[in-house]
A and B are shown apart, each in its own frame.
Chain A
Amino acid sequence: MNSPSKILVVDDEPQLTRVLRTGLKSRGYDVRVAADGLAGFEAFSDWHPDLVITDLAMPNLDGLELCRRLRAISQVPIIVLSAKGEEKTKVEALDIGADDFVTKPFGIDELLARVRASLRRANAPATSETAQTILDSGDFHVDLESREITVRSNPIHLTPKEFELLVYFIKHAGKVLTHRTLLAAIWGGNYVEQNEYLRVFVGNLRKKIEMDPATPRYILTEPWIGYRFDPGETIS
């Protein structure tokens, strides 16, 4: 039997850490809690958890700084707990390197779903790559060499930029990608403020890959933040 995944919860609200510790333990996770960013960073260094759940507003060292420090030394998945209205901070956390966020107040199921997805991505990468040329993820099959793509076994034709964007989505399936991250990755650092580029290309991509572009199931919008790609079926 595999050893349970280790989760570090960093929050200054003792009642919430009580609940999360019990809730996560009841699902078989090994849990430790820390009351602020500094204690969280120390616990991470000592314990090497598989995933970190952190609040944003905390004394001593806030969630943003914790994300920054963790990213400097590790690729551990980070889920940020945030509140509605904290979109700016949320985007900042995601840009720094957080993988996902959950908005307060949340049900334990919602958090657990994000935990499972993040751990799965970390343990088995979202894409299986054969000789670095084939990407297989859910409903998507991509040949990077011939630049052929099939969705639900149907071939689709994409422009070079659309192709790049979709490949980036597939490689980061399940993760929340901010507008800034996508623009920097596909168009380069000078275009990080050009959200309209992204809107147009995502719109075109949806027309080509979604069954119903009006209610997308692959490229999901995270309002004010960015997009999350769900490859459908299973993330292998």
Chain B
Amino acid sequence: MRRSVLDHKWAGYVVAVLSVFTLTLVLKIVGTHVNAATVSLALLLNVLFVATRWGSLPALFTSILAMLCFNFFFLPPFGTFTIAATDNWVALLAFLVTAVTAGQLSARAKKRAEEAETGRIEIERLYAELRDAFERASHAEALRQSEKLKSALLDAVTHDLRTPLTSIKASITTLLDEARGRVNGEPPVTLDAESKVEMMEVIDEESDRLSRFISGLIELARIEAGELQLRRRWGVVEEIISAALSRAEPMTKQHRVRLDVEKELPGVRVDERAVSEVVYTLVDNAAKYSPRGSTIRITAQRAGDEQIQMAVEDEGRGIPIDLRDQVFDKFFRATRDGDISQQPTGTGMGLAIAKGIVEAHEGEIWIESGAGGRGTRVVFTLPIGDEDDSR
């Protein structure tokens, strides 16, 4: 900021001279109406003014100048620096002491105020610096977390791509060696018909696994980008569940499946295929994580006037409470009780996709314990939908 002329120290002395002489002149002109006390008070005010604006030295200078003027012009005999009466000596001395003291005090107060202001500005600067540093650190931490997450996701994706690829490559090269009759110094490769079929089955199944994984990735990417296109139509809940169950039949052969749909359940305005996918995922998970011969129970009922609630319940070992939110994270694959002896077999995307579909319908999905505190019950709600709902 540019300093004004009045901010310089010498300006204080100039103002002191000008103001004291001007004031003296004015007081002299109206001299018949003012007494010595008035003059001294007016000059004191002048000293205070200079002190608060320019500090102690100009104030001291003003005090002395004012004292001289007071003596010369207003104390008899006028026009000289001599003083006739003793009481005028006292008055002059009192004036000088008061002027100097008041001037120094107000100059000191001004200095303190300036120091306080400087301190305040410094504190504000430090605070701004700290805030910026904190924001930069938070930003860096967020970036680091984001990079860490990306790296973990990349690891999960590459593992899920590489595992079936390994089986496919090993099968193909075995078949190729047999077809080429390669020996490599070893006994000739002999693959009987059954082994060949087995190799081809592995290739077939692992290709399907890759394909499922990639479809899941695409679906998940769509959901995350908010590009899930729902084709909402009026559908019957029982039909949606039946479609999912017939698709899941190969997985549920070893289980008892019980369907329990409330009578006179209203139709729902949903994307039937998407909701059927949710039910299929939940039934598939239930089959994977519960013992053979146990029961998988699917229920559907009204939940208030505007929603229906569906649930898939198994008799497996359940999911610990602290993992019940995490299982909806993509690529999270926990065994149902956190026990690593049980190998998870999914893609780690099913529940994340199911959650995306349910939430796109403005519903909710959560996990609770099954009947009697055993097993897992995955529950989700869907709004029934309005007749004029055109979404």
Contact = CB atoms under 8 A, between A and B. Distances in A.
Given A22-B195, A83-B158, A108 B341 contact: no
A60 B343 CA distance: 9
B1 interface: no
Q: Which of B171, B187, B206 has the most CB of A within 10 A?
A: B171
B173 A109 contact: yes
A108 B177 contact: yes
A26 B191 CA distance: 6
Nearest to B183: A27
B163 interface: yes
Nearest to A20: B170
A15 interface: yes
A191 B195 CA distance: 51
Given A12-B343, A19-B199, A108 B173 contact: yes
Interface in B323-379: 340-343
B186 A112 contact: yes
Please indicate which of the listed interface residues B164, B169, B191 has the most CB atoms of chain A within 10 Å of its own CB: B169
B174 A23 contact: yes
B305 to A, nearest CB: 47
A13 interface: yes
B164 A15 contact: yes
A109 B184 contact: yes
A59 B344 CA distance: 10
B158 A107 contact: no
B316 to A, nearest CB: 17
B155 A85 contact: yes
A111 interface: yes
A22 B174 contact: yes
Interface residues of B, number: 35
A108 to B, nearest CB: 4
Contact of A16 (B163, B173, B189, B190): B163
Range, interface on chain A: 20 to 34
A18 B158 contact: no
B83 interface: no
B42 interface: no
A104 interface: yes
A197 interface: no
Interface string A124-154: 0000000000000000000000000000000
A88 B273 CA distance: 45
A207 interface: no
B163 to A, nearest CB: 6
Given A19-B199, A23-B174, A107 B169 contact: yes
Interface string B160-171: 001111111111
B343 A27 contact: no
B174 A26 contact: yes
Contacts of A15: 164, 167, 202, 205-206
17 contacts: A15-B202, A18-B167, A18-B198, A18-B202, A19-B171, A22-B199, A23-B170, A25-B195, A26-B174, A36-B341, A59-B340, A83-B159, A106-B169, A106-B170, A107-B169, A109-B182, A111-B170
**Which 10 A-B residue pairings sit nearest by Cβ, starting from the closest?**
A107-B173, A105-B166, A23-B174, A15-B167, A108-B173, A105-B169, A104-B166, A19-B170, A105-B165, A59-B340
Interface of A: 12-13, 15-16, 18-20, 22-23, 25-28, 35-36, 59-60, 83, 85, 104-109, 111-113, 116
Interface of B: 155, 158-159, 162-171, 173-174, 177-178, 182, 184-187, 189-191, 195, 198-199, 202, 205-206, 340-343
Given A12-B343, A22-B191, A59-B343, 4 more contacts: A27-B187, A83-B159, A106-B166, A107-B169
